[in-house]
């Protein structure tokens, strides 16, 4: 049986992989746009607009993986002066606050996706529907929230069991 932890890790890796492909597509699009603009004085139509839409989503797709790897930026000035249990408690509190904020993003981006779907909103020059980008943002945020919840549970477990490292 697959545990919740394994499901979260698989979803995290999936969003990370999609995010890498997303960035690759953005880089290729930008490179082609710059090349055709420079050599042929003819930019790729809608490339700036498409890059804007893609950029809004790509960051969230990699954030869960960043959290899983512990690569988020942390200010550790006080950690040297505080007892390890206090640090674990503060980490758990930070995860809880982060989880709350990210869950708001999940909800709001999902609601916005539904609204944009019903309004049939599309981009100006290409006519690309906007709602899939909101749903991708919501999905990436959801995976990040699951990863934050897992990190919070691990931190609380270490706090309760009085361990400083796992």
C-alpha atoms less than 13 angstroms from C-alpha of 42 in its C-beta half-sphere? 1
Strand partners, 122: 129
pLDDT of residue 166: 46
Interval 137-147: pLDDT, tens: 999 999 999 99
Interval 73-89: pLDDT, tens: 887 888 889 998 999 99
Give the residue from 90, 69, 93, 68 showing the smallest Cα distance to 146: 68
Which DSSP string corresponds to 89-110? HHHHHHHHHHHHHHHHHHHHHH
The Cα-based distances of 91 to 37, 52, 84 in angstroms read 49, 34, 10
């Amino acid at each position: 049986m697959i545990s919740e932890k394994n499901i979260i890790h698989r979803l995290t890796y999936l969003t990370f992989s999609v995010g890498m492909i997303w960035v690759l597509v953005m880089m290729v699009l930008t490179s082609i746009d710059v090349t055709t603009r420079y050599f042929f004085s003819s930019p790729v139509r809608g490339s700036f607009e498409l890059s804007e839409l893609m950029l809004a989503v790509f960051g969230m797709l990699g954030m869960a993986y960043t959290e899983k790897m512990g690569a988020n930026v942390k200010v550790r000035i006080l950690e040297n002066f505080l007892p390890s249990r206090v640090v674990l408690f503060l980490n758990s509190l930070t995860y809880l606050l982060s989880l709350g904020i990210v869950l708001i993003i999940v909800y709001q981006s999902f609601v916005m996706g539904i609204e944009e779907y019903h309004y049939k909103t599309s981009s100006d020059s290409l006519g690309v529907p906007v709602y899939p980008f909101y749903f991708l943002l919501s999905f990436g945020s959801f995976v990040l929230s699951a990863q934050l919840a897992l990190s919070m549970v691990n931190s609380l477990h270490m706090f309760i069991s009085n361990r400083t490292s796992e």
